[in-house]
Amino acid sequence: MPIRDLANPHRFLALARALVPAFAILAALLLGLGLVLGFRAPADYQQGETVRIMYVHVPAAWIALGTWVLMAASALGTLVWRHPLADVSAKAAAPIGAAFCLLCLVTGALWGRPMWGAYWVWDARLTSVLVLFLLYLGVLALWRAIDDPDRAARAAAVLTLVGLVNIPIIKFSVDWWSTLHQPASVFRLGGSTIHPALLTPLLVMALGFAALFLALYLAAMRNEILRRRVRTAHILAAARAER
Please report, as ranges, the residues that interact with other proteins according to CB under 8 A. Answer: 39, 43, 48-50, 52-53, 56-57, 60, 79, 95-96, 99-100, 102-103, 106-107, 110-111, 113-114, 127, 131-132, 134-135, 138, 141-142, 145-146, 151, 154-155, 157-159, 161-163, 165-166, 212, 216, 219-220, 222-223, 226-227, 229-230, 232-234, 236-237, 240
Inter-CA distances, 30 with 15, 34, 107, 231, Å: 22, 6, 20, 37
User: In terms of CB distance, is 48 or 188 closer to other proteins?
Assistant: 48
For the CB of residue 71, give the shortest distance to other proteins in the complex, in Å: 15
For the CB of residue 167, give the shortest distance to other proteins in the complex, in Å: 12
Buried b (16+ CB within 10 A) or exposed e, 145-155: eeeebeebbbb
131 contacts: CB under 8 Å, gap ≥ 6: 166
User: In terms of CB distance, is 1 or 241 closer to other proteins?
Assistant: 241
Distance between start and end Cα atoms, the chain = 43
Q: How many residues does the chain have?
A: 243
User: In terms of CB distance, is 134 or 188 closer to other proteins?
Assistant: 134
Q: Is 63 helix (H, G, I), strand (E, B) or coil?
A: helix
